[in-house]
Amino acid sequence: MNNSSPLYLCIDQGGHASRALVFEENGQVVASAEAPINTLRPQPQWVEHDAEALLESVQSVIHEVCAQLGSGTTRLLTAGLATQRSSIVCWDSISGKPLSPVISWQDTRNAEWLAELNLDEKSVREQTGLRASPHYGASKLRWCLDHISDVQLAEREGRLACGPLASFLVFRLTQERSYLCDPCNAARTLLWDLCSKDWSPTLAKTFGLGSVNLPSSVPNRYAYGTLTITGTEIPLTVVTGDQSAAPFAFGQPKPDTIFINVGTGAFLQQLAVNGKYGNEKLLSSIAWWDQSDIYFTQEGTVNGAGAAISRMAQALNFEEETIFEHIEQWLGMNDTRPLFLNGIAGLGSPYWISDFNNRFVGTGRSEEKMAAVVESVIFLIVRNLVEMQSYQNSVRQVVISGGLAAIDGLCQSIADLSGLRVARSQIQEATARGLAFLLAGKPSSWGKGEFEFFYPRVNAQLHDRYESWLGYMESNVT
């Protein structure tokens, strides 16, 4: 480590843990810390976190990495924050006290209310790039206003603050108590207009949120405020979404590459060549906006990736660690495993069904069923890859990252079914690394790391299972 070079503090708040990593300008990690967070599921379709406990986990990892740096803390030039998109919080604008839990992006508790609005999908998509889905923030905020008395009282008394999780963390972490929102998190609320790059009064009124004081909309690179850590003041200058940062992990992304980050969910992104994409089965997302650049992506979402494995491991009485010890063997078995129709946490693109009936087609041993669950994640990813290529067919490769990318059989199966080369980085922290690249100003010296490649192979049995699975899925979503 160069003892005089600047350092960059990257805070990554994800669905399973809060992390803090410190990077040098070339992409080298010099300190890191992680703290798990609890996920609560008090009712079916409800997924939430305790807001104060989540904040404390973020504060703890920040202090831990600074303790690791010691006197090197003074070399921290700036800090960045990446958070779960679509998760929302309500809090008191005077005290900062949370008035609601963090309602997770996986949560679909207000799906019925949203369906009754009977929104014009075309109009919603043109403005927001999204589908009218309960996964996004607007219906969650409406639920809080309709069901939480502390939120209702705060609104009446003019002290309600609410918005994406990122805004709550910025408010509580900065000296200035900044009430701001970056575009990548704002765009996951169904309230933010991609063209005007600001909150839409029309959409706010549509969701019954016209009277709510939302955070000021600002670019990803902005003076968000000041963090004070052990007496050192560090400017917070970049805020973004976790999946928005991931494609930048290996430097400037290229339009001929589809980036897949596979964790709790799986998110596929491809850089738009000429502005926003128009495939109505996918999302048009904003990935970055500063004073000089703006990037849009077409995006596919698989809500039930790691979430599906966790849920079904519990249902089949497996320890999750056991699954990862044996999944390569199970995937490689020449068995007559069942198929799993996977809509856990809601079926995402290209089908968009919030309350899909998850089920097995066929029977098998418990390990065969777990192989089918993992295979369903592969199949949903490939279905999205096909959709993305149908609209933008100049795709050369897939770059995959995230915890589930460590499964060789998953990477190889994606290559076999898609016909694309799959490149897996040895670097797993794609969100924090992409955040660091953006925070450091996209340096040309950024190290891309080493990759392992999976090339397409002939696998007739896998193709047959995929076609059978696809037939069942298509017949069940129409």
User: Each residue of 412-451: pLDDT tens digit?
Assistant: 999 999 999 999 988 778 999 999 999 999 998 888 778 9
pLDDT at 345 over 60: yes
pLDDT at 319 over 60: yes
Residue closest to 64 by CA, chosen among 36, 34, 37: 34
Q: Residues in the chain, how many?
A: 478
* CATH 3.30.420.40 segments of the chain: 7-242, 250-428+448-477
- pLDDT for the residue numbered 151: 98
Residue closest to 47 by CA, chosen among 300, 311, 301: 311
* pLDDT band (50, 70, 90) for residue 275: low
Topology (CATH level 3) of domain 250-428+448-477: Nucleotidyltransferase; domain 5 (3.30.420)
Burial class of residue 464 (count of CB atoms within 10 Å of its CB; 0-12, 13-18, 19+): exposed
Cα 466-321-268 angle, rounded to 5 deg: 40
CA distance 409 to 131: 32
* pLDDT band (50, 70, 90) for residue 208: very high
Residue closest to 250 by CA, chosen among 15, 422, 423, 403: 423
Average of per-residue pLDDT across 314-333: 91
CA distance 428 to 405: 8
* pLDDT band (50, 70, 90) for residue 276: low
Task: Give the chain's mean pLDDT.
Answer: 94
Percent of the chain whose pLDDT exceeds 90: 86
- pLDDT for the residue numbered 425: 86
Burial 239-251 (b: 16+ CB within 10 A, else e): bbbbbbbbbbbbb
- For residues 304 and 327, the answer to whether their CB atoms sit within 8 Å is no
Strand pairing report for 359-361 and 339-341 = antiparallel
CATH class for domain 7-242? alpha beta
Each residue's pLDDT tens digit, 22-57: 999 989 999 999 999 999 999 999 999 999 999 999
- pLDDT for the residue numbered 279: 80
Query: How far, in whole angstroms, is CA 55 from its chain's centroid?
Result: 18
Burial 12-45 (b: 16+ CB within 10 A, else e): bbbbbebbbbbbbbebebbbbbbbebebeeeeeb
Residues in CB range of 471: below 8 A, 6 or more apart: none
Paired tokens of 237: 């200058």
Strand pairing report for 17-23 and 29-36 = antiparallel
The pTM for the full model equals 0.92
Average of per-residue pLDDT across 82-88: 97
- pLDDT for the residue numbered 274: 61
- pLDDT for the residue numbered 338: 96
Average of per-residue pLDDT across 199-221: 97
- pLDDT for the residue numbered 231: 85
pLDDT at 1 over 60: no
- pLDDT for the residue numbered 390: 82
Kindly list the strands in the beta sheet with 266-271, ordered across the sheet, starting from the edge strand earlier in the chain.
Answer: 283-289, 294-302, 266-271, 257-262, 397-401, 421-425, 451-454
Cis peptide leading into residue 350 (ω within 30°): yes
Residues in CB range of 424: below 8 A, 6 or more apart: 399, 400, 401, 405, 411, 451, 452, 453, 454
pLDDT at 320 over 90: no
